Amino acid sequence: MTAKERTYLGVPVKKPRAAFFEFTSCEGCQLQLLNNEASLVDFLSLLTIVNFREAMTEQSDEYDIAFIEGSITRDDEAEQLKIIRSRAQTLVAMGSCACFGGVNQLKNRFNDLAWVKEQVYGSQAIDTREVLPLSAIVPVDLEIYGCPIKKEEVEKVVTNLVLGKSIDYPRYPVCMECKANHNVCLFDLGQPCLGPITRAGCDAWCPANRLGCWGCRGPAEKPNVGQLRQIMHEHGFTDEQLLDRLECFGGFAQYVTELKRTAKG
């Protein structure tokens, strides 16, 4: 064993070759990875980075893990994603856009893509399509939730990937983290919040800063949307306000249709 080899419990650990890619997105998730300089060197030392446009100019098509930010909004993006999938042993969807479609998928709610294109771009020729998450195009091995992702969570996920350890996410909602952090409930402050039904893991990032949860991490296990609707009504919020939040990032799409049906009833 050479001096440069890393070990875990005495066993040599291989540094996988990793590539970072982006599709339709703000690229904020990739920037988030670079923000915490204190642990950046240790984080990058776990991987051999071969493609990361935000941080380096060198590129390689040989990689073990592909981290992908952004949703699919064009046919050429879908084809490029398929190529990346064919080269990567592990494909990681990184952030709400990659996992659910993110804020980009809001245009889908109009159910008239031609009208949306005309309203936004006028007569300009624009290549666009219905917004889809990565999993609608190719198999995804792992999802890292959030808008943006939380760097500490990514570091934990990457460490477990490198060591071959299991990766588990909380099944409970953000409300549990709010209680643990002794936060004041946002409903008591007059704000709507999806904390009761949203997957935890962000350490109640937004509620801790007095901003009601918008559900960027998607649903917690067995979310009781009906009960949240009742809570919203008790605090003076409408079904439209609830739907605005549920539809924002796309993670609650499976619950929106039923809620719209009951709201009309």
The pLDDT of 124-148, averaged and rounded, is 94
196-226 pLDDT per residue, tens: 999 999 999 999 999 999 999 999 999 999 9
DSSP state of 18: E
Non-local (6+) Cβ contacts of 265 within 8 A are none
Same domain as 202, residue 152: no
Q: How far apart are CA 85 and CA 148, in angstroms?
A: 23
Please tell me the pTM assigned to this model.
0.90
- Asked if residue 142 lies in contact with residue 90, where contact means CB atoms within 8 angstroms, the answer is yes
Residue 169 domain-assigned (yes or no): no
Residue 13 domain-assigned (yes or no): yes
Q: How far apart are CA 165 and CA 155, in angstroms?
A: 13
167-203 pLDDT per residue, tens: 888 999 999 999 999 999 999 999 999 999 999 999 9
Same domain as 123, residue 244: no
Residue 168 domain-assigned (yes or no): no
Which of 231, 232, 226 shows the shortest CA–CA distance to 261? 226
Residue 73 domain-assigned (yes or no): yes
- Asked if residue 261 lies in contact with residue 243, where contact means CB atoms within 8 angstroms, the answer is no
According to DSSP, the β-strands at 11-13 and 6-8 are: antiparallel
What would the two tokens of residue 194 be? 């999806």
Domain of 113, CATH number, reads 3.40.50.700
Non-local (6+) Cβ contacts of 247 within 8 A are 106, 109, 253, 256
Percent of the chain with pLDDT over 90: 66
**Domain closes at, from 133, 163, 193:** 163
Residue 246 has pLDDT above 90, yes or no: yes
- Asked if residue 204 lies in contact with residue 173, where contact means CB atoms within 8 angstroms, the answer is no
Taking phi over 0 as left and psi of -120 to 50 as alpha, with beta for the rest, 102 belongs to left
Same domain as 129, residue 179: no
Residue ranges making up the domain that contains 210: 174-264
The tally of domains found in the chain comes to 2
Residue 24 domain-assigned (yes or no): yes
3-state secondary structure of 190: coil
- Asked if residue 49 lies in contact with residue 30, where contact means CB atoms within 8 angstroms, the answer is no
Same domain as 71, residue 200: no
Burial class of residue 105 in the structure, from the number of CB atoms within 10 Å of its CB (0-12 exposed, 13-18 middle, 19+ buried): buried
